[in-house]
Amino acid sequence: MIFGLPAILGLIPLLVYIVLAFKGRDIAFVVLLCTVIGAIMTGQTPIEFGASLYSALGSFMALVGFIIMMGAGLGEVLRQTQVADTIVTTIVTKSGVKSRNSVTVAVMFTSCLLVALLGTLAGANAIIAPIIIPIVASMGITPSTLSVLLHGAGATGLYLGPFTPPVVTYMELTGVSYGEFLINAGIPISIVLWIITYINAKKTQKETEGIESYTAEDMADTKQVNITQQAKNATLVFLIAMLVMIVYGILFKGGAAFVLTVMLVVSFVTGLVGGMNPGEIVSAIITGGSRMYKMFFMFVLYDPFMGYITASGAFTAIAELMNPIMSQVGSVGFMILSTLIGIFGVSGAAVAQAKVMNDMFAAFVSDMNIPMGLWALVLLVGSQITSFAYPTGDMVGQMGLARSSSLKPMLKNGMMIAVFTILYVVVRGFIYSSSGI
């Protein structure tokens, strides 16, 4: 630290990051600013700063950022080949939905599936919304109800898809396998979200029916999809290719880097069957990926940002200060405390939140011998539920896609999800504490 400042002051960049993120400042600028502050406080020269950026390009966080870009590129291929439209239309219109309940379940399943396949909540639901709005409108389902469904059910796709950026990150940070992650974190938290979202959607429908509805203009603007045989063939190939790659990745422990191979292979086989030539496929990947360049830029910066804080000795200082507290609260108290700090104390991109949490608490996890499956659960809840506890961009974005202007139902659903997911962590912690399971 410059001027021999106390190590604990190395947290200043992190505190600035949290404050500005909660104030809604551009997150990429915030990360850049805090990285520069960290470099100054640790006495980095311009040459050393450049070297840290060079090193960051080969970091895990940069890999996650590139995976996000590649996922957006795959999404563009699926859009141009009508594969995304085919999947949504088939599930929603060909599954025999004849009641509000069946439409509700179909919307939830469709959103979850496409988010799991594309690895993006906003991108997947942006594809889904124009197709399902005429269907939900014909059933009298209100915009507020649809916004609750898209947010709650769609988010679970991020917890279940084998190649989504969050799942890849949690597996990398904890070292658990995909199956272990699903059993300990992905599936139970998704079940909690599905139940609460379904119940709140029903309540929202009762509260808003007759007060708000989709208009004739909304119906006129919705997307009419004409699915070709070529699109159907491309969809079949896409699903088969994804299944083969998932099985291969699980059997041979593909790891995070394997996701890039998956994105490329699936993009090309789907694009070729869908009528695109190789040049068009590459252009589509670049077009889609370019929309996520800001995310990639930000994720590259996260590595030196957190690295400077670690180098300052701030995390070690925190550990020393918290040791007396942790020795009193035990493993259950630690799981609860770290979850709450993750949800309410750290803001920003969920993957980055998980990295911050892991850097802050990894030493305690090791000292307390907490199983990595349980730590994956804490990381998931601590980093993902923030988007439900606050009116974040994800929450407001789903309102916009559903053409809703009411934030109240979203906040109600979000707070219930936050409460019950935290309760699940508490219960799971006590089960582990009492039985070691």
Is residue 345 included in any domain, yes or no? no
Please state the domain count of the chain.
Answer: 1
In the block, residue with structure tokens 């992190």? 14
Residue 238 lies in a domain: yes
Residue 9 in domain: no
Please list the residues that pair with 212 across neighbouring strands: 209
C-alpha 185, offset from chain centre? 14
User: Is residue 418 in a domain?
Assistant: no
What string of pLDDT tens digits covers the 437 residues of the chain?
888 889 889 999 989 988 887 787 888 899 999 999 999 999 999 999 999 999 999 988 898 889 888 988 998 999 899 998 888 888 776 666 678 888 899 999 999 998 998 888 888 888 888 778 878 887 889 999 999 999 999 999 999 999 899 999 999 999 999 999 999 999 999 999 999 999 999 999 999 998 898 877 666 555 566 889 999 999 999 999 989 988 888 788 777 788 889 989 999 999 999 999 999 999 999 999 998 898 899 889 988 998 999 899 888 887 788 778 777 888 889 999 999 988 887 766 788 889 989 988 998 999 899 999 999 999 999 999 988 987 777 888 888 888 888 889 999 999 999 999 999 999 999 998 888 77
Residue 111 in any domain: the answer is yes
Distances (CA, A) of 371 to 210, 327, 350, 354, 429: 50, 17, 22, 17, 11
CA-CA-CA-CA torsion sign (55, 375, 367, 257): negative
Distance CA 188, CA 124 (A): 22
Cβ-Cβ contacts under 8 Å for 302 (sequence gap 6 or more)? 31, 61, 352, 355
Average pLDDT value for the chain: 89
Phi, psi torsion values for 407, nearest 5 degrees: -85, -25
* Nearest Cα to Cα of residue 113 among 63, 73, 61, 159: 159
Q: Is residue 118 part of a domain?
A: yes
Asked whether 243 and 265 are in contact (CB, 8 A), the reply is: no
Taking the CA atoms of residue 286, residue 68, residue 89 and residue 408 in that order, the dihedral angle to the nearest 10 degrees is: -130
CA distance 67 to 73: 10
Domain limits for position 233: 62-294
Taking the C-alpha atoms of residue 393 and residue 375, their distance in angstroms, rounded to an integer, is 26
Decide if 346 is inside a domain.
no
- Does residue 12 sit within a domain? no
Closest CA to 116 of 200, 53, 187, 206: 187
Give pLDDT tens digits for 73-104.
998 999 899 998 888 888 776 666 678 888 89
Tokens of 105: 């379940």
SS3 helix, strand, coil % of the chain, rounded to 5? 80, 0, 15
The pLDDT tens digits for 139-158 are 889 999 999 999 999 999 99
Global confidence as pTM = 0.82
> Taking Cα atoms as reference points, which of 379, 370, 358, 371 lies closest to residue 60?
358
